[in-house]
Structure 1
Amino acid sequence: MKLVLFDLGDTLESDGVLVPGALETLEMIAAFRTNGDPSAFLGLVSDFDMPAEPSEVAIIQQRYYSLLDDLGIRPFFEPVAERVTLSTEVGVFKPDEAVFRAAASKAGPDVGFGDVLFVTENRSHVLAARRLGLAAVHVRGPGQAHGEVNTLAEVVPLVQSFLNGGEPVETVVLDVSSEAPDALLTRIGATDATWTRLGDVLVVRSPAARPGQSPARGELPDSARRLFVPEQHLHVVTQTARLFQEDHPDIRVVVDKGRYLVVDFDAGASLPADGPHASCYRVSPLPADGVVFDQRAAGPGPASPAEAVGVAAVEVSRAAFDDDVGTLARLRTRHSRSAEFRGALAWAESLLADLGYATQIQTVAVPGGTSRNLVADRPGDGDGDGREVVLVTAHLDSVNIQGASAAAPGADDNASGSAGVLAIGRALAGRSTRRGLRLILFGGEEQGLFGSRHYVSGLDTDERARISAVINMDMIACTNTATATVLLEGAPVSQGMIDSLADIAQANTSLAVQTSLAPFNSDHVPFIEMGIPAVLTIEGTDSANDRVHTDRDTLETLDVGLALEILRMNTMFVAQALDSDTSIARPIR
């Protein structure tokens, strides 16, 4: 039999009144059944008045029982002689071992410390209980800034896990150096804890009932957060803007890194993937001993074109980028089926044709009608019809979550990426290169990657093999981080590209670099699904641009300096890829 022990003062009760959720929590735990019988005893263990002489013990006990009557919770702990343990009768205060031993022995001769879960607002009592071998939970008490759980309701799933033979898991969230996490990870590897890293944040899970298993217990900085979340409740979310949080405002966010979240919910109840914007986020279990995204520190700062390290010097025109992004973002909308979208596509086609690119328009089926892709080619000087080609892509369309008729200037999402494609096309026009350059502006991305899926599905095996690398730009001009940061998102097939881009960024720009091998919800994904090396370059994630997909995504919110740094990295990479004697993108097999 299991025993769930509660402290009373400031845990279930404060100033003579039950704390919020206390009654409901006791009711839910009391309702747990195994083969028709209660799954656990409920008990109380409290520090209370000490007697001056043994004859006072019974009087003090009755005063405590009257308090339970006044609170309306005595029935949960009947018979009180077996379920309530006071320092009054033991002669010492918690967390002395004798108090816990008395509570366990009252519950039954076979109840040991390993069968007890203790709930209290007193952190030092939690630690002492764990040293004795009890499972224990620190619930945030009145006036406390932190707890392992914030409310009594959050204790219920931990009790259920405990009763089902699992262990309450202590989750520690702490900041780590993105450059030197190895020592901490080595310590974690020596325990049975698991970890997940999101840039400079580490989420470590270890059994709370086993003292000493947390790799840094007692050594954690004040900024570290300890909380109790059942392992199966932890999930990682990849989202566009804040659309997951908009759909599910009641789901607890444990770690917020903008595009990436760690959230706490009971997947056994329901999977929160059915909101109105479900296509704009992905929910999956938090990986054990894995990296959601990695991070590298910023490089030494931008070099002049003449000082570019290891790659051809290429300049991107700021004035032309400003003009292009302004031309696109001043349109009321670029919804995939709109006249404004078609006008923007025709304008971009004319611009690229004037630069010497051979252009073609593809018609793309989208929900409710059709959209367009613009494909612009400049052949390389390689031999034969099978020469390789490097792709630079972005989606031209914009959207407002209020509907197709609402204003959608889409300055960041994705006038910035589309203007980036034109900037690279302008910078590399007229150059003689070994590989061909292909620029693509997709339609229908916001409705579900329709343009890129249409393009990739039309490639035969030989055409797919010709593609050396795909650089996709989607939202490159808003600052979400303390320092200018780019996120490089791909897959294992893209690892060579990611490494090259990161090296170029660190040597030639002031960008910090984040990397992820979990591609999601942009036009690089269809290429990766076909085994083609592709990387999304997007503004870094720490917060998220919550203006996208609204009428607030306007020119005034852009950081053109960030966009130009990302374009500097991308243009140098493309110039290198166009002239390299060997493919830098595909992994060695």
Structure 2
Amino acid sequence: MIKISTFLLLSFFSFCCSANTDTVAVKKHLKNITKTASYRNPENIAQLNAIAHYIKTDFLKYSDKVSYQEYKVEGKTYKNVICSFGTENKQRIIVGAHYDVCGNQEGADDNASGIVGLLEIARQLKGKKLNKRIDLVAFTLEEPPYFRTEQMGSYVHAKSLKDTKVDVLGMISLEMIGYFSDKENSQNYPVAVMSKMYGNKGDYITLVTTAEKGKFVEDFSQHFKQAKAIKTEEFNAPRSLPGIDFSDHLNYWNFGYSAMMITDTSFYRNKNYHKKSDTMETLDIRRMAK
């Protein structure tokens, strides 16, 4: 059996290669997810579940191991969508992104971009021989008012893994991966001194980790940076730093799993965050594909 580091590089990182990413499909998915009759939030549960159905239908093109993980909140049924590859293997890698939005807005970067990332990974994993199981999970209810509650789809999923004693190697959260800028002062930070370390241009993708990141995150980060598909920075910071745990990976941390977030840094760069201006027209499809 090949070593985990080689597995990560050869079997999983194929999606990093922009030549293999279908930018036409990326644009189509973004349009279908964001340009809808109503907004995909808990107030519009029919629209939210229609997007879940869209994700499941696309997943089924690439795997016959696709399912809903349903749960109830205040009498309403919400759905995580799970697509699995390499199910003959015991040890599991989770890659997740949330498909709901905050309020009445399209949520192109937050977080249709992450969902499209999942769909592209699924397409590229089709037919691949793996020595680890990979579960791609589209989460519901990441946004307020459910953020940091047990109603988050990622909490429900992480708890189910813990309760059933699943052997989880690690988890990756794709949270806002589509917004980039080459303009001076387009990148902000929670601590001003970070601008001296990482620069003031929002022209990179970020791997968010902590000091207790674990071997999976350490290996993943190393190989992601070595691939050099896109300019990459690693933020290794305590969870107390604002924004470090502002996504679904926080629930996997809370259950003791090695987890991380891949992000364009969210509101530290993208000023359309949680606004009606967060549309697909503002995204950099070329760099998002990388």
User: With structure 2 as the length reference, what TM-score do the two structures score?
Assistant: 0.76
Which residue in 2 is equivalent to 1:451?
Answer: 153
Q: Please point out which of 254, 259, 263 is paired with 1:529.
A: 254
Residue 249 of structure 2 is aligned to residue 550 of structure 1 = no
Give the drift of 1:431.
Answer: 0.7
Contact 2:207 2:232 in 1 (8 A): no
Alignment partner, residue 208 of structure 2: 489
Contact 2:172 2:259 in 1 (8 A): yes
Which residue in the other structure is 2:108 paired with? 411
Structure 1 position 319, deviation (Å) = 1.9
Structure 2 residue identity aligned to 1:326: K
Equivalent residue of 1:432, what SS? coil
- Alignment-derived partner of residue 396 in structure 1: 99
Q: Does 1:318 align with 2:29?
A: no
Amino acid at match of 1:513: E
SS in 1 for 2:47: helix
- The 2-side partners of 1:541 and 1:417 are apart by 12
Partners of 2:9 and 2:63 in 1: CA distance:
28
CA contact (8 A) 1:472 1:523 kept: yes
Structure 1 residue matching 2:260: 3-state secondary structure: strand
Structure 1: stretches of 5+ with no match in the other structure:
1-308, 401-406, 566-589
Check whether the contact 1:333–1:409 (CA below 8 A) recurs between aligned residues.
yes
After TM superposition, give the deviation of residue 460 of structure 1 in Å: 3.9
Q: How many Å apart are 1:485 and its aligned residue? A: 1.4
Report matched runs for 1:453-468 at 5 Å.
Answer: 453-460=155-162, 463-464=165-166, 466-468=167-169
Q: Can you list the C-alpha shifts for 1:87-143, whole angstroms capped at 9, x where unaligned?
A: xxxxxxxxxxxxxxxxxxxxxxxxxxxxxxxxxxxxxxxxxxxxxxxxxxxxxxxxx
Unaligned runs of 5+ in 2: 1-7, 15-19, 181-185, 188-200
Which residue, 348, 355, 373 being the options, matches 2:62? 355
Task: Give the aligned partner of residue 274 of structure 1.
Answer: none
Partner of 2:78 in structure 1? 371
TM-superposed CA distance for 1:541, in Å, is: 6.8
Aligned partner of residue 376 in structure 1, secondary structure: strand
Query: 2:42: which partner in 1?
Result: 336
Alpha-carbon distance in 2 for matches of 1:389, 1:522: 20
Matches of 2:74 and 2:273, distance apart in 1: 21
Specify the code of the residue in structure 2 equivalent to 1:537: I
Secondary structure in structure 2 of the residue aligned to 1:463: coil
Task: Give me the whole-angstrom Cα distance separating, in 2, the residues matched to 1:436 and 1:349.
Answer: 18
How many aligned positions are there?
Answer: 246
- Alignment of 1:563 with 2:279, yes or no, is no
Report the more deviating stretch, 498-507 or 518-527: 498-507
Residue deviations 1:175-205 (CA, integer Å, cap 9, x gap): xxxxxxxxxxxxxxxxxxxxxxxxxxxxxxx
Alignment of 1:244-393 (within 5 A): 311=10, 314=14, 315-331=20-36, 332-338=38-44, 339-366=46-73, 369-382=76-89, 387-393=90-96
Match of 1:432 in 2: 129
Who is 1:28 aligned against? Answer: none
**Structure 1-normalised TM-score?**
0.39
1:388 to 1:502, Cα distance in 2 relative to 1, 3 A? closer
Query: Aligned AA for 1:409?
Result: E
Does structure 1 retain, via aligned residues, the 8 Å contact 2:99–2:115?
A: yes
Deviations 1:151-197 (A, max 9, x none): xxxxxxxxxxxxxxxxxxxxxxxxxxxxxxxxxxxxxxxxxxxxxxx
Structure 2 match to 1:520 = 245
Aligned-partner Cα distance in 1 for 2:62–2:28 = 16
AA matched with 1:320: A
CA change 1:365–1:521 in 2 (3 A) is farther
Letter in 2 for 1:489: V
Cα 1:520–1:483 shift into 2, 3 Å? closer
Secondary structure of 1:416's aligned partner:
helix
Alignment of 1:132-281 (within 5 A): none
Q: Distance in 2 between matches of 1:560 and 1:437?
A: 25
Per-residue deviation, 1:368? 7.8
Q: 1:471: Cα distance to partner?
A: 1.1
Q: Structure 1 514/468 Cα, relative in aligned 2: closer, same or farther at 3 Å?
A: same
- Identity of counterpart residues, as a percentage? 20
Larger Rg: 1
Looking at structure 2, the residues matched to 504 and 564 of structure 1 have their Cα atoms a distance apart, in angstroms, of: 18
Closer/same/farther in 2, CA of residues 424 and 364 from structure 1, 3 Å limit: same
When residues 375 and 311 of structure 1 are mapped into structure 2, their CA distance, relative to the original with a 3 A threshold, is: closer
Amino acid aligned to 1:399: C
- Structure 1 distance, partners of 2:175, 2:74, is 22
Greater strand content: 1
CA separation of 1:429 and 1:528: change in aligned 2, threshold 3 A: same
> C-alpha root-mean-square deviation of aligned residues, in Å?
2.4
Q: Which has the higher contact order (CA 8 A, sep 6+)?
A: 2
What CA distance in whole angstroms lies between the structure 2 residues aligned with 1:475 and 1:440?
15
Is the CA contact 1:514–1:540 (under 8 Å) kept in the aligned structure 2?
A: no
- d(CA) in 2 for partners of 1:321 and 1:497? 28
SS in 1 for 2:60: helix
Contact 2:202–2:269, Cα closer than 8 Å, also in 1: no
1:494-544 CA-partner distances (Å, limit 9, x unpaired) = 243443343334332231313134241210011111111111110047943
**Contact 1:373/1:451 (CA < 8 Å) preserved in 2?**
yes
Shift of the alpha carbon at 1:408? 1.5
Name 1:502's counterpart in structure 2: 221
Look up the equivalent residue of 1:511 and give its one-letter code.
K
